[in-house]
Amino acid sequence: MDEGLVREAHARFLLSKQARPAQRCQVTVLEVCQAYLENTKATGAAKTHSDRADTLFDFCFGLPP
């Protein structure tokens, strides 16, 4: 294989990676947690929803002293 062709292909690859803007997710952790809890509330028992809500609160804001 021609080394010059490989170098040119590699250079094109590197340039194409730079040309594309980085995509960032616009969904926050809070939105994911809220959607999860809404689903739990709609499909599960009230106690299950309450337990999971408490766990996520502790995860996001720290355990109580």
User: What's the whole-number mean pLDDT along residues 22-28?
Assistant: 77
Nearest one of 60, 11, 5, 7 to 32, comparing CA atoms: 60
Q: What is d(CA 53, CA 44) in angstroms, rounded to the nearest whole number?
A: 12
pLDDT of residue 55: 85
User: What's the whole-number mean pLDDT along residues 11-34?
Assistant: 78
pLDDT band at 20 (very low <50, low <70, confident <90, very high): low
Nearest one of 24, 20, 49 to 36, comparing CA atoms: 49
What are the residue ranges spanned by the domains of the chain?
A: 24-65
**What is the value of pTM for the model shown?**
0.48
pLDDT band at 21 (very low <50, low <70, confident <90, very high): low
Provide φ and ψ at 28, rounded to 5°.
-90, 165
